[in-house]
Amino acid sequence: MLNLGSTYLIVNDIQKSIAFYEKLLEMKVSSQAYDRWAQFDFNGKCIGIYNKDYDRKIICENKDIETHYNDEYIKYYKERAIRYGNNMVLNFWIDDLSTEYERINQLKIGRVSEINYVNFSSPYYFFVLEDPDGNTIEITGYYKG
C-alpha cells in the first residue's frame, strides 16, 4: 500500500507563493529548503511548493551538478514540460463558509469565484480561489444560503 508523502504544486515564484499560502492558510511556512522547496504541515500531512527554476539555475550554471542530481534526473528535468496553473485542486473544508468567503475576499490575494452550489448526493457549497500560478483552491463548508 502506498502512503501519501505530500501534495505539492510547481510554482513560478516561490516567495510570492509562500506569501500567498501563508495568508490563505493563516500559518507560517513549516519548513523551507533554499528557494527550491517549502511546505506547510497539517497533522502529519503537508502541502508543498516546488520551484522548478531553482534546479534550472544550477543545471545551467553547471555548478556541482553531480552533488545534487544524477544523469537521469537531469534528462527527466530537461524533457518535462510544465504548464503552470490549474493542474490540480487543493480542497479545504471550513465550518463557516460565509465568514471564510469574506476573509478571502478581504485578503485580495487572488481571483475568487462566487459561492457555488451543486447537489447530487447531498448539497455542496464551495467557492474557488486561484493562487499566483492559477492553481485551483476549492473551499467548502457549511453555508446558510
Domains identified in the chain and CATH numbers: 7-79 (3.30.720.120), 89-142 (3.10.180.10)
Report residue 3's pLDDT band, with 50, 70 and 90 as the boundaries. low
Non-local CB neighbours of 84 within 8 Å, separated by 6+ positions: 10, 11, 12, 133, 134
Check residue 22 and give its pLDDT.
97
Check residue 68 and give its pLDDT.
87
pTM: 0.85
Q: Tell me the residue length of the chain.
A: 145
Whole-number percent of the chain with pLDDT over 70:
97
pLDDT above 60 for 79: yes
| Interval 24-65: pLDDT, tens | 999 999 999 999 999 999 888 899 999 988 888 888 888 788
Report residue 138's pLDDT band, with 50, 70 and 90 as the boundaries. very high
Report residue 1's pLDDT band, with 50, 70 and 90 as the boundaries. low
pLDDT above 80 for 137: yes
Q: Which three cell numbers stand for residue 126?
A: 464551495
Phi, psi of 70 (to 5 degrees): -100, 170
Check residue 44 and give its pLDDT.
84
One-character DSSP codes across 56-67: HHHHHHT-SHHH
DSSP H stretches of helix in the chain: 14-25, 52-61, 65-68, 71-79, 97-107
pLDDT above 90 for 86: no
